[in-house]
Amino acid sequence: MSAFLPHTDPDPATRAAALADARTAYRFNYAYVSPLAVIDRVPRQHEFSHAWMKVVGERVIVSLANRVELEGETHYAEFLRSKHALLTKVLSWGAELFLGVLREIVGDALKFVGRATAKAVRPADLATYADIFRSIGLPPIAAALPNDLGFAYLRLAGPNPVMLKRVAALDDRLPLSEGEYARVVPGDSLAAAGGEGRLFLADYAALDGAELGTYPHGVQKYVYAPVALFVVDRATRQLRPVAIRCKQTPAPDNPVFTPEDGYNWLIAKTIVEIADGNVHEAVTHLARTHLLIEPFVVCTYRQLAPNHPLFVLLVPHFDGTLAINDASWRHLIANKGAVDQLFGGTIETSRKLAASGVQTCLFNEAMLPKAVAARGTDDPETLPVYPYRDDARLYWDAIHEWVGAYLALYYPTDAEVQADPELKAWLTEIGAADGGRVGGFGPGMAAPTVAYLTDAVTMILFTCSVQHAAVNFPQYDVMSYVPAMPLAGYAPAPTSKTGATAADHLAQLPPLDMAELQMELGYLLGTVHYTTLGQYPAGYFLDPRVAEPLARFQARLAEAGRQIEQRNTTRVPYTTLRPADIPQSINI
């Protein structure tokens, strides 16, 4: 597409008319998911494409086949078998016919995928959770529950790799003595670890006081607000867990668990995983990728003309976002929807957590370099192994260079940025109370500069692609296997450091129908890769000056892939951020 700044557009009247039409079509709604700014109605052009529906349809076929195998010879299995056969057949038909049939079948399938049994059937053993994977392949994490080092590694390279924060000392929520610490980490001390910057905390205080759910079985579910301590071992330089407290409030029946505590320790680690899963889905994933980006989509269409250079750069990274967000509210986060069934809190709890996740996210401070520094996790000397940080930084730097080179074509100096009325309106509306309500966005009282615009657009593109990939795709690799990361507990937290058994751990995990739902959603949401970062449609940028910086960007992405493959030869492989697996936009 040809790109013109407002003052260079040869047809200003058409430009003005296009903007006026867009402001009518794209309106914010503040009541639907109060107080967040979401699109009032998704315009038709943002509906899912045929190509996207085909990719999703292929996953639905696998999920239906898995259900057929689990159901055996039942009436429900016959229904699923008929749907599976029809959908398989129409995959080879024309796009319009395929799309219509798929929409009908997906609608029917969603009703049954979310169907809970009348009774919460408990598994006989952990192996039962693995047995539900049939046509859906069993993820490698199911080979064995992570040991302590694997548990720690999930904080660095799992679904929610943003929770660790460096601490110098412990507060009264985690009263661990030097003696207790020394038994877990021989030859070390709390004081030394804190002073050397090797102590890290995962704090789930956001879940404290959550209203607990009972849907769909009428059985009490639990979500906990633990605090977990980790240390980088002096000798091995690996992160290891030291202590967990399952609740925030100090009390005699809220003990501090350590690796010495047998099954009580395993249960405490599971409680951390439940909390991590709830914060991951509501805050790190939904709030701080999907919902954070939606106002940028709306404001871009409202304030930048279709031939504005920034519009041209941004819109491929918005493909499918309004549609998937709308579908999430209508299906996953609806009353009695999948989130209501799977999560430990009520659906109101999950919605409030998501809303708070958006409101407490300050855009400028959430930029990757600042975010990891603010948590004290930026220094490889104190935290040597952190695959998310290291791989994500490759992409941040590549995107930053690409955005800077692209913007320099149109804004060679700060004066051009400050003279662009459409850009000024875009910058203003994104953070405005009657606009996008994005907290902490903009240059503040200073005039906008090329440097700030480069940082801001880098953050947008990074969030749409790399950050979303980092938190979305582990939904299959890790979260589809319930014992690895349950989304609700089914027993209260232990009140004693002794006495727990394997049966107590099993009783904490979800019933089988909830495990099946979590598996199916994890498979669907965590395996749909649609578009690839850096691969814009052929001939998309009509300005010939864009070709050279785009080629550099694509070369840097390829080099990032080579570095990641090399890193994976010397660490536990972290494959989530391979270039081929990072989509251009949030579209699932």
Instruction: Round to the nearest angstrom and report the end-to-end CA distance of the chain.
Output: 26
CA dist., res. 476 & res. 526, Å (int): 5
* pLDDT (0 to 100) of residue 116: 53
What are residue 165's DSSP bridge partners? 201
- Closest Cα partner for 489 from 506, 467, 470? 506
Q: Which structure tokens are listed for 423?
A: 């850009």
CA dist., res. 454 & res. 402, Å (int): 9
- Closest Cα partner for 259 from 185, 162, 338? 185
Domains present along the chain, CATH in parentheses = 6-74+280-479+522-581 (1.20.245.10)
Buried b (16+ CB within 10 A) or exposed e, 547-583: eebbeebbebbeebbeebeeeeeeeeebebbbbeebb
CA dist., res. 181 & res. 502, Å (int): 26
Written as one letter, the residue type at 29 is N
* pLDDT (0 to 100) of residue 127: 95
* pLDDT (0 to 100) of residue 63: 85
Q: Are 464 and 317 in contact (CB under 8 A)?
A: yes
Does a cis peptide bond (omega within 30 degrees of 0) precede residue 140? no
Helix (H) or strand (E) holding 417: helix 414-418
DSSP codes joined into one string, 159-186? S-TT-EEE-SS--TTS---HHHHHHHST
Query: Quick check: helix, strand or coil at residue 487?
Result: coil
Does a cis peptide bond (omega within 30 degrees of 0) precede residue 216? yes
Angle at which helices 75-90 and 95-113 pack, to 10 degrees? Answer: 160
User: Scanning the structure block, which residue is given the tokens 């877990």?
Assistant: 184
Query: Cα 445 to the chain's mean position, in Å?
Result: 32
333 half-sphere exposure, CB direction, 13 A CA radius: 22
Q: Are 58 and 105 in contact (CB under 8 A)?
A: no
**Reported pTM:** 0.94
The length of the chain in residues reads 588
* pLDDT (0 to 100) of residue 50: 78
What are residue 29's DSSP bridge partners? 38
Written as one letter, the residue type at 381 is E
CA distances from 354 to 281, 291, 368 (A): 8, 9, 20
* pLDDT (0 to 100) of residue 58: 83
CA distances from 242 to 150, 188, 196, 496 (A): 13, 12, 16, 17
Q: Print pLDDT tens along the chain (588 aa).
A: 579 999 999 999 999 999 999 999 999 999 998 999 999 999 999 988 878 887 887 888 788 888 888 877 665 566 666 666 655 665 554 444 445 555 555 455 444 444 555 568 999 999 999 999 999 999 999 987 789 999 999 999 999 999 999 999 999 999 999 999 999 999 999 999 999 999 999 999 999 999 999 999 999 999 999 999 999 999 999 999 999 999 999 899 999 999 999 999 999 999 999 999 999 999 999 999 999 999 999 999 999 999 999 999 999 999 999 999 998 988 889 899 999 999 999 999 999 999 999 999 999 999 999 999 999 999 999 999 999 999 999 999 999 999 999 999 999 999 999 999 999 999 999 999 999 999 999 999 999 999 999 999 999 999 999 999 999 999 999 999 999 999 999 999 999 999 999 999 999 999 999 999 999 999 999 999 999 999 999 999 999 999 999 999 999 999 999 999 999 999 999 999 999 999 999 999
Q: Which structure tokens are listed for 532?
A: 């690839």
User: What does the angle CA 385 – CA 553 – CA 475 come to, to the nearest 5 degrees?
Assistant: 45
* pLDDT (0 to 100) of residue 87: 59
Provide the greatest CA pair distance for the chain: 78
Query: Cα 288 to the chain's mean position, in Å?
Result: 8
